[in-house]
Amino acid sequence: MKTGLVVEGGGMRGIYASGVLDSFLKNGIRFDYAVGVSAGGANTASFLAGQFKRTYRFFHEYGNEKDFLGMHSYLKTGQYFGLNYMYDTVSSFTGKDPLDISALKRNPTYMEIAATDAVTAKAHYFTKDDMRPGNLDILKATCCIPVISKPIVIDEVPYFDGGVADPLPVQRAFDSGCDIAVVILSSRWPKEIKKKKKSLLYSHALKQYPKTLKQVYKSDQLRDLECRLAFEYSRMGKVLVIMPEDDSQMSTLTKDKKLLESFYWQGYNQAMSMMDLLKEKLQCESSR
């Protein structure tokens, strides 16, 4: 049986998945297929590279740097999340905390990273073959939030955050042949959905990409639908969902180190408490 991993984004909320995935590393949990979106893409890459606590450092240590997140980065680069800082200064092979591309590519897990084609507003799934030590543009693309970021151009195609087109690629995992999947959410579900009001700021920022603009207004509803699908698969015994028990103080832009530390350990400890069930589920399914 083919096992899958689906890791949601969520900006700084991604430190929760860092804790979950570090518990998987400690326990030797492996998957045949993995897909990550936005911050979930960064988490998935470090997990498959076997780099324990790397994305903990990414969020907790570097998240307070002025080039990582905030107006300083936006005014300097046009990116509110400092994607060049994250993936060039920090994560590249010459960076201060490099992603181990060689280890990632040696890992037999088939990895996909979801981004949104800015022109068509359709999801595009990059693979680790699209990643090179000196070029982590696919990680920049999956994390490139519309309006507060300029699109990342790869092979002449502009891309935005994968969460616009496919915030939780559960169906993608099953369409890719998975029989069972572990799904990591960065915030609780269900949650109240507030319809995004049409904004002149959005219209101006995305005037070149009208299909993406239209899709941005639908993204919260799409996330809700995909969460519903995940829990429907869960009732069928095909998905194990791991999500925060309490995310009330967290946000996409959280920089408070104590909150980030707490959210990391919430993910780590929660996954550890489920480890016997997780191992049993994966082993049972894989032995059929």
User: What span, in angstroms and rounded, lies between the C-alpha atoms of 83 and 264?
Assistant: 22
Decide if pLDDT at 279 tops 80: yes
Please answer whether residues 189 and 12 qualify as being in contact, where contact means their C-beta atoms are separated by less than 8 angstroms: no
pLDDT digits (tens, 9 = 90+) for 93-150: 999 999 999 999 999 999 999 999 999 999 999 999 998 878 999 999 999 999 999 9
> Quick one: pLDDT at residue 287?
39
Which pLDDT band holds residue 240 (cuts at 50, 70, 90)?
Answer: very high
| Percent of the chain surpassing pLDDT 90 | 90
**Which pTM was predicted?**
0.96
User: What span, in angstroms and rounded, lies between the C-alpha atoms of 54 and 105?
Assistant: 17
Cα dihedral across residues 226, 232, 237, 241: positive or negative: positive
pLDDT digits (tens, 9 = 90+) for 158-188: 999 999 999 999 999 999 999 999 999 999 9
Q: How high does pLDDT run on average in the chain? A: 95
Q: What does DSSP assign to residue 90?
A: I
Decide if pLDDT at 288 tops 50: no
> Quick one: pLDDT at residue 281?
85
Can you tell me the mean pLDDT for 260-286?
Answer: 89
Element containing residue 183 per DSSP (H, E): strand 180-184
Decide if pLDDT at 285 tops 80: no
Decide if pLDDT at 238 tops 60: yes
Q: What is the CA 60 to chain-centroid distance, rounded?
A: 16
Can you tell me the mean pLDDT for 10-16?
Answer: 97
pLDDT digits (tens, 9 = 90+) for 61-72: 999 999 999 999
For 50-109, strand residue ranges (E) read none
Decide if pLDDT at 284 tops 60: no
User: What span, in angstroms and rounded, lies between the C-alpha atoms of 130 and 187?
Assistant: 29
> Quick one: pLDDT at residue 133?
74
pLDDT digits (tens, 9 = 90+) for 203-229: 999 999 999 999 999 999 999 999 999
Which residue from 73, 74, 85 is spatially nearest to 205, judged by alpha carbons?
A: 74
Which pLDDT band holds residue 11 (cuts at 50, 70, 90)?
Answer: very high
